[in-house]
Amino acid sequence: MNWASSLRLVAAEEFLSVSGLVLLLVCAWAGDKSARLVTWLAVAALAVAGVLVAPALCGGVFGAEASAFYGQYAADSFSSFAKLLIYGAAGASLLVAPGFFERQGGYRAEYPVLALFAALGMGLMVSATDMLTLYVGLEMNSLAAYVLAAMSRSDDRSPEAGLKYFVLGSLASGILLFGISLTYGFAGSTSFDAIHTALVGKMSTGSLFGLVFILVGLSFKISAVPFHMWTPDVYEGAPTPVTTFFATAPKVAALALTMRVTLFAFGMQAQAWQQIVVAISLLSIVVGALGAIGQGNIKRLMAYSSINNVGFMLIGLAAATPGGAASMLVYLSIYVVMSIGGFVAILSLRDAEGNSVEKIADLAGLSRSKPGLAFVLAMVMFSLAGIPPLFGFWGKFVVFQSAVAAGLVPLATVGIAASVIGAFYYLKVVKVLYFDEPADKVVGSVDGVHAVLLYGSAIVISPIGYLFTGWLGGLAQSAAAALFHAA
């Protein structure tokens, strides 16, 4: 191993940690007055980190030339695809934070710094090619996330959400760590490469237990059923910009991590984890769709929607083929844009006193008072339901296509049938927006950066998005190929 080349490969992480430290000093000296400035600088740092990782994706690098620090870290095309999504999502959710927290009374300058460190941890997660890197990255992201969830002082639900997330998250980390230690015991190494070569043929009971525990820990992080209980509470309780963050960046990181662990580290044991992934995915689709029906709070609805969507993405993983992995990445990218659009729209819903409106009933007749906002929100709902011609349809389409190509026809059939149940509650929101008697609760206006993000994501999920399918599919394929180079 060459230290110089290793240090060059982790350039984005180095840059993010140094800028995080510098910004921490800025907020220590300048206090909360500097919060807005620190936010913009953090977004700039994320943009620079994005530029640093982009060449690896365009060049499609993988294998030995992307491997750093004795194979503990990989700066390959897969990780840079995920990192670009993560940095973009983290940047977008940082941009909407100052306005929200200033209305709530008190924007803390540490908020962007913690988000920056969370993004650093997520970068480690998606680049992890060693169980230890995986765990360190996961903890870095989780610790920052617990604090972000509990950050709002004016709302009692926020500390509650933070505490719930912390207790359940620590339990999941413990289970994951137990699985890692079992796998280490039976494979003799923590490196993904070595696990890949060691675990061939029939799996011993011990290593199977290790695999199951690892999958349980990771399912918690991607909030897949049956480890999803925390999601609605945390999404509802956390301040909305934090929810925007949770629904996008960590989801990308955890799913990408799950992909690398299953497809690469346990790549020779596909038949062992495939049935687990199929079960988790079907449960997530059904429970996500049924659970959302009774929800009266739009943030809780989005939480169930994210559970539902994770289920669809896992169908791509269940295929266990490069095509399945690429389709997951395509779905993930579209999902991130849809979530950002949806949450920015939710952030723009404010009553006369400037408080957030979160009850779905209060949105009645929004189309008459705020036609633009209602239109984008309806578009996000249609897109999440996967109704053509919106871009959300394309994500579901490629996932089902890859499942059918891999011979998982029953899974795809059940998934398509269950997506109809999901369409019900999305359409219910649209019905409230357009056909109910106006409640005239929402008066706030969409301004500045919110408008840019809102209409920007609306353009991407509109049929215009189909212009990107070739380009996005090509990038996703080159990224997915990096996972299968050893196979």
Partner 1 sequence: MIQTLAFYLFAALVIASAVMTITARNPVHSVLWLILAFFNAAGLMILIGAEFIAMLLVIVYVGAVAVLFLFVVMMLDIDFATLRAGFVKNFPLGLAIAGILLAELLFGLGAHSAGGLVLGTPDAATAPAANVPNIQAIGAVLYGHYLFLFEAAGVVLLVAMIGAIVLTHRQRNDVRPQNISEQVKRRPEDATINTRPEVGGGVKL
Binding site for partner 1 (CB under 8 A): 6, 10, 17, 24, 68-70, 72-73, 108, 110, 113-114, 117, 120-121, 124, 130, 132-133, 136-137, 139-140, 143-144, 146-147, 150-151, 153, 162, 184-189, 191, 194, 198, 204, 206
Angle at 150 between CA 147 and CA 156, to 5 degrees: 170
Q: Which is nearer to partner 1, 148 or 411 (CB)?
A: 148
List the structure tokens of 20: 């995080």
Least distance from partner 1 to the Cβ atom of residue 170, Å: 12
- Of 101, 157, 366, whose CA–CA distance to 357 is shortest? 366
Beta bridge partners of 297: 359
- Of 460, 480, 457, whose CA–CA distance to 468 is shortest? 460
Least distance from partner 1 to the Cβ atom of residue 206, Å: 6
The answer to whether the beta carbons of residues 69 and 130 sit under 8 Å apart is: no
Q: How far is CA 123 from CA 50, 61, 68, 81, 120, in A?
A: 11, 17, 14, 11, 5
* DSSP secondary structure letter of residue 204: P
Q: Which is nearer to partner 1, 131 or 292 (CB)?
A: 131
Least distance from partner 1 to the Cβ atom of residue 34, Å: 15
Least distance from partner 1 to the Cβ atom of residue 154, Å: 12
CA–centroid distance for 158 within its chain: 20
Q: Which is nearer to partner 1, 173 or 327 (CB)?
A: 173
Least distance from partner 1 to the Cβ atom of residue 4, Å: 14
* DSSP secondary structure letter of residue 189: -
Least distance from partner 1 to the Cβ atom of residue 144, Å: 5
**Distance (Å, whole) CA 382 – CA 390:** 7
Least distance from partner 1 to the Cβ atom of residue 484, Å: 23
* DSSP secondary structure letter of residue 261: I
Q: Which is nearer to partner 1, 152 or 223 (CB)?
A: 152
Residue 329 burial by Cβ neighbours in a 10 Å radius (0-12, 13-18, 19+):
buried
Least distance from partner 1 to the Cβ atom of residue 237, Å: 15
List the structure tokens of 93: 């959710």
Least distance from partner 1 to the Cβ atom of residue 196, Å: 12
Q: Which is nearer to partner 1, 109 or 403 (CB)?
A: 109
Least distance from partner 1 to the Cβ atom of residue 9, Å: 10
Least distance from partner 1 to the Cβ atom of residue 126, Å: 14
Q: Which is nearer to partner 1, 140 or 453 (CB)?
A: 140
Q: How far is CA 251 from CA 104, 170, 363, in A?
A: 26, 17, 27
Q: Given the structure tokens 């491997």, which residue do they identify? A: 67
Q: Which is nearer to partner 1, 162 or 444 (CB)?
A: 162
The answer to whether the beta carbons of residues 358 and 347 sit under 8 Å apart is: no
Q: Which is nearer to partner 1, 136 or 171 (CB)?
A: 136
The answer to whether the beta carbons of residues 315 and 279 sit under 8 Å apart is: no
* DSSP secondary structure letter of residue 388: T
Q: Which is nearer to partner 1, 201 or 448 (CB)?
A: 201
**Distance (Å, whole) CA 117 – CA 22:** 12
Enumerate residues 6+ apart whose C-beta is below 8 A from 4. Answer: none
Q: Which is nearer to partner 1, 195 or 432 (CB)?
A: 195
Q: Which is nearer to partner 1, 114 or 278 (CB)?
A: 114
- Of 378, 384, 188, 415, whose CA–CA distance to 302 is shortest? 384
List the structure tokens of 294: 């009774």
Beta bridge partners of 128: 73
